[in-house]
Amino acid sequence: MKMDVSRVLIPREKIDEMVERVAGQINDFYGGEKLVVVGILTGAYVFTADLVRKLDMPVIVDFMQVSSYEGTESTGNITIKKDVSLDIKDMNVLIVEDIVDTGRTLKALKEMLLERQPKSLRICTAFDKPSKRVTDLVPDFNGIVVPDEFIVGYGLDYKGLFREFKDVRAVEIKE
């Protein structure tokens, strides 16, 4: 089995345009209010960094690492590997994710964080794959809708590899 990651699905220029657009929507929505941005590790670290540099408000950046998979299937039951390091009660919180597909993990994470009584809780994703959605979760700030293909680059990986690509590429398995 050989993997081919040479086909660029989303060039860097389109990603840069998306970050500008999404940051503009977030700036308009929060109107300068302080915001806690919670990037979801590891995939969202690149998008989180690019996004916060475009925000026009006081921003606190924190990260969470969660797992909801058994093998290759998402269970929707999340395990916290790294939690936020501050109390989010009465704060505006924005979860930043790399990609939303089934929505199970984010739905469970959102429910868990809402129990901590933030002032508001919204979700932002760089890439959205609604064709795979099995929940009613809809990101509040949505980057680029992607087709039902496995993608890597711009922080997204395959077994830890390919996060370093500046663009997003489709993974093709060749026998």
Kindly list the catalytic residues.
101
Residues 6+ apart with CB under 8 A from 12: 166, 167
* 147 close to 99: Cβ distance less than 8 angstroms: no
- 49 vs 41: CA distance, rounded Å: 12
d(CA 43, CA 59): 20
- 131 Cβ contact partners less than 8 Å away, ≥ 6 residues apart: 147, 148
